[in-house]
Amino acid sequence: MKRIFTGALLFMFVLGIGLPKAEAAESSTELASDARSAVLIERDTGKILYDKDSNVELPPASMTKIMTMLLIMEAVDKGKLSLNEKVRTSEHAASMGGSQIFLEPGEEMTTEQMLKGIAIGSGNDAAVAMAERIGGSEEAFVGMMNKKAKELGIKHTKFQNATGLPVKDHYSTAYDMAVMAKELLKYEGKITRFTGKYEDYLRENTDKKFWLVNTNRLVKFYPGVDGLKTGFTQEAKYCLTATAKKDNMRVIAVIFGAPSPKERNTQITKMLDYAFSHYQTYPVYKRGEKLAEAFVSKGAKSRVTGVTGEPVSILTKKGESKKGISKKVVMNSNLKAPVEKGDRIGTLMVQKNGKTISKSAIIANTTIEKAGWWKNFKQSFGMFTGSH
């Protein structure tokens, strides 16, 4: 098998497309005048297209469930949870107020059904039931939420629960919420089949059939919108993290603190219209495409394949001239087993004129367990003799 070089790999795109500097909408263009804060980003590059006080810490209400859904999807992706696994509802989960799907203590639903309840109906009870299944307790799951936030590099978010129900010291920002949404949308198709549904049912074929109607009305009324999550409390007012896709371009728009659902939807619509009328993207990679291999020491296998951890695209303003773009693949050189599927093992950099304009994770496409003592001995001997 031909060995793939795992250092830096640099070559020019055939497309030869240039990327402008990240620019917010012109100051004269006020897209979210009646919101407390707002942000608009392109999903693949993460470039900010519009910003209004996007780092102000505010209560996120049920948009909190974006992180809850992200941890659910990660558990499914890594094989730690299946969509058809039945999840039991505890007394604590069933006691949640606010939006709910009216789970009873001891009631079981599959992960898929729970996701419907969270994504479409904003069920607090379903969110806590899943938190307890993944974390062992809601408190432990909240620890996972905050840990993931740190991994994503966001600095103005702190979770106290899995639902967004009002509680002291629970906050986020428009920008942080956009980053979480960007990460969740790595599972485009898998998650948007829930968040993009306007209506569905739970407990079908029973006398307790439950009708779900999406709290995000734009799913029905704005072409291309397929998520992600609304939020409302008296303190937070009307919030929405929305995503829409048109042609090859997916954008994320976040609103905090709109005075009414109508104003929230109107301002999200303005931001989406602005993005699609002013920008375009050129896809480079889909998620899961093979890039390179990396050596793994003390592993049952000595090499692991690195794949793209998310879709990768180039963003330009419409009508902008296309110039040379390059990409650089850098694999970690000090990997030690065990390596878990989905672990970051390298970095893909898109560059313009030698300057890095975007970075994304290269992840392991399989798990590499630790080797037994005999395998380790042979690897060590091979390294000593230079024959590895």
Catalytic residues: 62, 65, 122
Segment holding 327, helix H or strand E = strand 326-331
Q: Say if strands 335-336 and 290-297 run parallel, antiparallel, or are unpaired.
A: parallel
Segment holding 385, helix H or strand E = helix 373-385
Q: Which two tokens stand for residue 288?
A: 């899961």
3-state secondary structure (DSSP) of residue 245: strand
C-alpha dihedral (148, 149, 153, 157), degrees to nearest 10 = -170
Rounded to the nearest angstrom, the gap between the alpha carbon of residue 163 and the centroid of all alpha carbons in its chain is: 17
Q: Which DSSP string do the residues of 44-106 spell out, in sequence order?
A: TT--EEEEESTT--B--GGGGHHHHHHHHHHHHHTTSS-TT-EEEPPHHHHT--SS---PPTT
Please state, in angstroms and as integers, the Cα–Cα distance from residue 193 to each residue in 68, 187, 215, following that order.
17, 10, 15
CA distance 348 to 327: 7
Please give the angle made by the CA atoms of 82, 75 and 66, to the nearest 5 degrees: 110
- By C-alpha distance, which of 246, 250, 229, 247 is closest to 238? 229
Q: What is the 3-state secondary structure (H, E, C) of 337-369?
A: CCECCCCEEEEEEEEECCEEEEEEEEEECCCEC
Sign of CA dihedral 169, 173, 179, 181: positive
The answer to whether the CB of 163 falls within 8 A of the CB of 124 is yes
- By C-alpha distance, which of 361, 292, 367 is closest to 78? 367
3-state secondary structure (DSSP) of residue 171: strand
